[in-house]
Structure 1
Amino acid sequence: MSALPTASDTANRERPRSIAVWLFVCAVLVLTMVAVGGITRLTESGLSITQWKPITGAIPPLSQADWQAEFDLYKATGEYRNVTGPAGMDLDAFKFIFFWEWFHRFLGRLLGLAFALPLAWFWVRRAIPAGYTPRLVALLALGGLQGAFGWFMVRSGLSGEMTDVSHFWLSIHLLTALFTLAGLVWTALDLRQHAQGRTAPSRLTRASLWVAAILFVQLLLGAWVAGLNAGLVSDTWPLMFGRLVPEANWANGVAWTFLHDPFWLHFLHRWWAFVAAAALVVLARRVRPLERRASIAINAMVGTQILLGIATVMSGVALWLAVAHQLVGALLVASFAWGAHVVGRREPEFPRAETSH
């Protein structure tokens, strides 16, 4: 007869399961931040707060004088002098863009607390399984870096006559968020498997690493397209200005064109999408016999993302289509992490049965 589970056995299962649930909640907060970040970018709200005050900045302006002071700081930016000021922005319009940037930063602070406080609680109670503390601390550090990268991004748009943030800093900011999201999902899945008896963490296989590299290129191109407002250069699909391959500016060299030219980056982003889609579908086929739900999630996100990308272009980058495109991109990263985790799982570790003599 097998022995009945002890209280210790139950605790060993429940603790990693509880930590996994907490990490999934944090992943949902990251998804929310990605969506709000998209709204912030598309409404040109990112430069509305010109100072980084991690503590006192959590409180928005409370008086008319405070609002006017913030507006005056914004008026010193190149964006106001060259774009929004000449368009007639008043204080009420400024309050609108200020809200989205403040809300985005507020969610960042909320996520930091939602991660750091439970981590400390689990740590003090010695509830974290062996080997997972460094990984959880690394995820906390990534969250801190994300906030710092966000400020460097904003600061890049406040110098001189700049009217937008650097697309390089925007890509670092966004890709760090998506990497953190993948890490949260992967670690939560590891812990859920741990609660079911698989104590060996999943591994990233070589095939999954190739898919990750292909997806990374597409996400990087998407971030550059967003930062350069390159989605606006063409509202037709599949052709751009009646051509499959658009005219690009090669006068400054190949490197400049691949890093800065909005027409060329738009072209690369719309067609590399199908390379990424093919790689993800192949991964989904490998996942299907192991966990059908993960395979369905990957395929669904791939198809939805491509349709949203086309719709975003043809709508002239309509706000909510573009936000949905960014959000589904983040969901695609999460579904990839799920599928790659399934492929890399190891067999459950069961104690060997003792043979009788």
Structure 2
Amino acid sequence: MRRSRSSVIKAGLYLITLAILIYVLVYMPTPYMIHQPGSAEEIKPIVSVKKGDTEEKGTFMLTTVSVSYANIAMLVTSQFQPHTEVIRKEPDRNEEEYQTEQRYYMNTSQSSAIMAAYKYAGVEYKIVPEYVFVIGLSDKITPKGEFHPGDILRKVDGKKVEKFEQLAELMSGKSAGDQVAVELERNGKKVEQRVELVELGETNGIAKVGFGVSVGEVRKIQPQDPGMEVHFAETRIGGPSAGLMFSLEIYNQLTPGDLSKGYRVAGTGTVAEDGTVGPIGGVQFKIVASDREKADIFFVPEDNYKEAKAKVDELGTSMKLVPVKRVDDALKYLKELSYKS
């Protein structure tokens, strides 16, 4: 009888220990994130132009970095994996805010890429503001209303809000402690509440008030010719770094002929509406991802060239690394390139 009771106790202790061990290794949060090579994905299935030229024997590819919130087990195994980097995650920002911010960066990147491509293709367009939405909550000021990342700000005191300037005008003349009626759209549903305004700081000695949240503006780029309108498919990818490659794919569809000339063209870089290409983070991981997908050419922002070149040399890949400052640098390189045999 005693042996039986002892066995039960041992088994119970074993199960408790195992449960604690599993929790610590798998479920216990850590203040770290793991970066490693993501993907090099074809852009053509993501981008379409109604009256565009779809000829493309090669392909344009956007590149990504895989970002994971690390548990203990992942931190241990990452020490034995090549091309992996462990970084401390930013304080006061949860995963929902991070994902919302990345979607906003992607949306902004797509808008800038369309404008840059229209500029080089000679397509007339106008910018149409659509809505303002919540990216995240302030880490310095506690909001007095209930806001979630991704909430669309539809109305304040019954007046529509479609762009930053309208929101600023509605806050003008108000003071901290004033209450306003706010209409939000959250996951497709209307949410109404009264919100007390909070002080955000001063500009030129004048106190600024608001909701205590960071906001972004979504804009539609509308071409004069409806047939030249660019459409993006839904994607799980976030961030601003696909701007350059989006511009090249859009330009290829807006103009006759095949800009890819049969090559597998990967790359990275933010893009401004005037065509300026900006630096990005994690270029070494994108080089690895592109090499895995057998890219022939990789366009890299000039400011990232040194780091990218070091990874290309380490891999010993034959992939051609091409530094660019502007979208037209990439266009010029491709237009002067012979067709792939």
Provide the TM-score with structure 2 as the length reference. 0.26
Higher strand content, 1 or 2: 2
Q: Report which of the two has the higher share of helix.
A: 1
When the two structures are superposed, what TM-score results if normalisation uses the length of structure 1? Answer: 0.25
